[in-house]
Amino acid sequence: MVDAIEISIEDDEYEEMLNELYGTVTVCGMEYDAGTVLKEVDPIAFRCGVADEPIKWQCGECDTIFDDRDGAEECCEEEEDP
């Protein structure tokens, strides 16, 4: 069985994802990136969002990313001849 490596999203990746999804927001006439505003204004909500992101799994041999551990573990297994 190939080892599967658990991958969780980093804060900066989540912030960038929010910036891409929501673009800019206007606060008192000034424009800011939405993810950056959330991180600064409500760090608890930001951390909850990071924690709620689904965990991904990486094949230990070829580094392919999967949504589930089984897929990562089975990725590079050699099939036995019947």
| Average pLDDT score, the chain | 89
In-domain check, residue 41: yes
Alpha-carbon distances of 54 from 7, 8, 23, 58, 80, rounded to whole Å:
9, 8, 22, 13, 32
DSSP state for residue 78 in the 8-state scheme? P
In-domain check, residue 80: no
Domain housing 13: 4-74
In-domain check, residue 62: yes
Per-residue pLDDT of the chain (82 residues; tens, 9 = 90+): 678 888 888 899 999 999 999 999 999 999 999 999 999 999 999 999 999 988 889 998 898 989 888 888 888 886 555 5
Predicted TM-score (pTM) of this structure: 0.67
CB of 15 closer than 8 Å to CB of 35: yes
The number of folded domains in the chain is 1
In-domain check, residue 79: no
